[in-house]
Structure 1
Amino acid sequence: MNPVVYGVALEVRWRDLDAFNHVNNASYLGYIEEARVRWFKSLSSDWAGESAAPIMAAVQLNYRRPVNWPETVRVELFAERIGTKSLTLGHRISSASEDGVLYCDGHTVLVWVDRSGQSVPLPDAVLAACAG
């Protein structure tokens, strides 16, 4: 397995729950997005700047078990594939308090585009973080 490039603990919010009192499937994407944005922001203040920004081209999630409330989840990101203009980021959502409890895994494909919508090379800060 690839080394983790970024990890963060996030509190599950009451509003994340569905009618069955566990976290709604769409909220998992929100947790992954929050981790991704925090990681990008830690790399560069201009991660979504005037010249280019990442867009999500694809996402794949494997729901392993429901998340109940209250809970703190740990979201981990790792580089699965580094292209010239795209990055496949693997992700795992697990329990921050109970070892071995995996809620979700999968990956997201991100492409960097300029303001006209044309793909551009990955930022140097992202390449360096993924290579390290």
Structure 2
Amino acid sequence: MDSAERAEFGIEGDWAMLRRHRIRWSECDQYAHANNTAYLTLCEDVRVSHWLSLGGRFEPGEPGPVVAQLEARYHRPLAFDDAVAVTLRPATLRRSSFTHDYAVWKDGLVFACRTLLVIVVNGSGEKAPIPPAIRARLIEQGAREE
């Protein structure tokens, strides 16, 4: 992300990924306020893009991330047609799990979230270690091993 994007959305800190989004009517309640689940869907969209950018896949028999826990904090509301930036950064990792931090920005921080992701084999649900190449990329992006 460049300094113009940081200034446009009021982004602070280091982030591995940024995705722009415009709040759609379908993400709003009858008063044109973004529904609380819309924020989580934005995080899901950037999480999937991030996994694919790391070389991960979503295919039967392949390991992939599953959300095991999340903590969210809503700072300010969003409304229909607001332009926002959604950011992601890996925070910590263990043998078969890692955490992501997410933030949604519009004139500063409006939403923050942390998820605990567990790697499981798609199809069987069996817990699996983080693939070595993906682990290395997460560390390059700032994740610290616990």
TM range (shorter): 0.7 to 0.9
The Cα of 1:2 is off from its aligned counterpart by: 7.3
Q: Aligned pair count?
A: 127
Corresponding residue number in structure 2 for 1:90: 101
Shift in CA distance, 17/91, structure 1 to aligned 2, threshold 3 Å? same
Letter in 2 for 1:126: I
1:25-40 pair list within 5 angstroms: 25-40=36-51
Corresponding residue number in structure 2 for 1:121: 129
Aligned-residue Cα RMSD (Å) equals 1.8
| Identity level (%) | 27
Unaligned runs of 5+ in 2: 1-11, 141-146
Corresponding residue number in structure 1 for 2:57: 47
Q: Deviations over 1:56-96 (max 9, x none)?
A: 1011110001001211211111122111100110111112x
* TM-score (norm: length of structure 1): 0.87
Letter in 2 for 1:26: T
* TM-score (norm: length of structure 2): 0.79
Unaligned runs of 5+ in 1: none
Letter in 2 for 1:7: L
The Cα of 1:128 is off from its aligned counterpart by: 2.1
Asked whether the equivalents of residues 93 and 102 of structure 1 are also in contact (C-alpha less than 8 Å), the reply is: yes
Corresponding residue number in structure 1 for 2:92: 81
Which structure's residues are more often strand, by fraction?
1
2:17 equivalent to 1:10: no
Corresponding residue number in structure 2 for 1:130: 138
**Distance in 2 (alpha carbons) for counterparts of 1:15 and 1:2:** 30
